[in-house]
Amino acid sequence: MQRLFTLLAIPVLAGTLAVAQTTTTPTAPDPATRIQNRVSRLATLLNLTQDQQTKAIAIFTSAETAAQALQTSAQTARTSLQAAIRTNDTATIDQLSTTLGTLSGQMTAIRSKADAAFYALLSVDQQAKFDTLHQGGFEGPGGPGHGHGGPGGSGH
């Protein structure tokens, strides 16, 4: 009986492993898709005109492009920071921490300026609705802007 159970369990286990190997981790959408999704959500929530949508896409795309170089620099600094931690290089830790703080501030400024430009596109009624939807700040139903705040959907 034990041998029969073992013989039956092996194919089931093999099948489970095969399924697990073919399962992929979902990848995040590319920046253009994230921006389009964000603007689509905002368009629905705020009844944006086509012109407003076109301008919003341009604003958020420009901000994303500007932030990309800073994100690359930040990733490089984080990698270097990990190396400095491993070697107890406190001077480099201080320098890289300052660099990361500066990069973070610059990315916040880029995204905040994009948020301000988007907000300026809105009519008074749309601004009022936007303010109601985002009482906790610029993040909300549209999701975090570019993945790091902003009026709607990355991440920044």
Closest by CA to 81, choosing from 107, 99, 67, is 99
Q: In which band, very low, low, confident or very high, does the pLDDT at 147 lie, cut at 50, 70 and 90?
A: very low
Q: Give this prediction's pTM.
A: 0.68
CB-based contact 154:144 (threshold 8 Å): yes
Residue 25 half-sphere exposure toward CB, CA atoms < 13 A: 2
Q: Indicate whether 149 pLDDT > 90.
A: no
Residue-wise pLDDT for 70-94, tens only, equals 999 999 999 999 999 999 999 999 9
